[in-house]
Chains A and B, each alone.
Chain A
Amino acid sequence: MNPFDAPQNRLVYRKFQEGVLPPNFCPAYVSSVKRAPRLPPVPLPQTISELTGPTFTPPENVQAVDLTKGAHGAAIGERIVVGGRVLDEDGRAIAGTLVEVWQANAAGRYLHARDQHDAPLDPNFTGCASFVTDAKGQFRFETIRPGEYPWRNHYNAWRPAHIHFSVFGPAFATRLITQMYFPGDALLPFDPIFNSIRSQPARERLIAAFDWETTVPEYGLGYRFDIVLRGRHETPMENKP
């Protein structure tokens, strides 16, 4: 097979349901005011350019999927296990797709030069990893529960605990960067980033579920975070350029 062969069937990705996508211009999220475009986006047909995308395994220099073990010992904080599946809207597993995660440490501090929050770094915690999903679209990693941290968006603003997720999926059209939150976090109702999504079910989709199946006895609590990418359907003719 020629590796450059185009997909034979022209299937296009469904539009997002109303209220699922956050608007980029969101004054409660102060950073958006000078960065979000003001003109409405132009509809882009789904051509072969948008229907293809990079499919690769991660480079060799990425870490193993246990973030709790540092170079000099165990990372500080509450060990947790995060597992889930990457699926499409029709429930089909997205196998072999690259997922990248990054997060603050237990004290709410990122291992990043620009993070000047006065909380300790943990020499045994990098807070980042990447991995590919298995044949059933599943992934699983062990980490430390991230801490909340202040962020100066407004007076006494604190981000709820979260883990950043980057997922490629099968095409440019499915590229997703999002955040996973924790159930019962008291800061969620006050967070302008989380609440930028108007649809309540869509917001809840970003909250991991505490899960006995993922919980490991005598080790750590488990959280289940399923990631659902856009599904495809046959090309309606009006979507052709």
Chain B
Amino acid sequence: MTEPKTSEAPLPPVSDVKLVTSYQTVGPYFKIGLEALYRHDLTSPDTPGRLIEIAGTVFDADLAPVPDAILELWHADSAGRYMVQPQTEPFKDSFVGFGRVPTNEGGQFHFRTIKPGPVEPDGPERQAPHILVSVFMRGLLYRLITRIYFSDEAGNADDPVLCSIELHRRDSLVAKADSTHPNRYEWNIFLQGENETVFFEL
């Protein structure tokens, strides 16, 4: 029995649409629901831009690695533009800028993408290259929002978001380029403690 209702049928009234739906934890068993869209490689062979890899670990209050976190990524292309048209063949023909990566047993995650360009470089809201990150895990009722910047970007000094953060906490948002492999970056998440990562409210 899969007969859909006809589109002519009147829709039932929606109660109090002014009230938004709140969040609940993703729980420990998200893999079965979210795995179909796991994407560790955001590129395709013809994606323009500089290929980079970002790897890191998610740590809890005891600096124990978190083996059941999931990160979602959203970033612009190498020219700083966001893909905003619906994708019928996602991840195949064009750069989308979306990634989804779980942590492994050691709390580690990694992904491969192209270095995003500065966003709106000619506009009043010029931003240094960055990646938006949502973090979900058992133990978090609401998603954490953070950003990844890059240690080799001079534009960080003028980035309006970075500049809004206390100086000693800014480093938590900056992925460090590996001195021997310049296309590899390390960026870790500290959920608590003296190095607690900067998380945003949006």
Residues of A within 8 A of B (CB): 1, 3-7, 13, 16-17, 20-24, 26, 29, 31-39, 41-50, 52-59, 61-62, 65-66, 85, 87-91, 96, 100-102, 110-112, 114-115, 126-128, 130, 134-136, 138, 140, 142, 162, 164, 166, 172-173, 175-179, 193-194, 196-197, 199, 201-203, 205-206, 211, 213, 216, 219, 224, 226-230, 240-241
**B179 lies within 8 A of chain A by Cβ:** no
User: Are B36 and A130 touching (Cβ within 8 A)?
Assistant: yes
User: Are A4 and B2 touching (Cβ within 8 A)?
Assistant: no
Interface centre among B29, B31, B62, B75 (most CB of A within 10 A): B29
Residues of B within 8 A of A (CB): 1-2, 4-5, 7, 11-12, 14-34, 36-37, 60-62, 64, 66, 68, 72, 74-77, 79, 81-88, 90-91, 94, 96-98, 119-120, 124-125, 127, 130, 132, 134, 136-145, 160-161, 164-165, 191-192, 196-202
In the bound assembly, the distance between CA atoms of A230 and B61 in angstroms comes to 31
A-B pairs under 8 A by CB, number: 286
Q: Which of A34, A56, A240 contacts B139 (CB 8 A)?
A: A34
Interface centre among B60, B74, B136 (most CB of A within 10 A): B74
Q: From A138, which residue of chain B is reached at the shortest CB distance?
A: B11
Given contact pairs A6-B82, A140-B4, A205-B22, A44 touches B11 in the complex (Cβ within 8 A) = no
User: Are B83 and A4 touching (Cβ within 8 A)?
Assistant: yes
User: Are A38 and B141 touching (Cβ within 8 A)?
Assistant: no
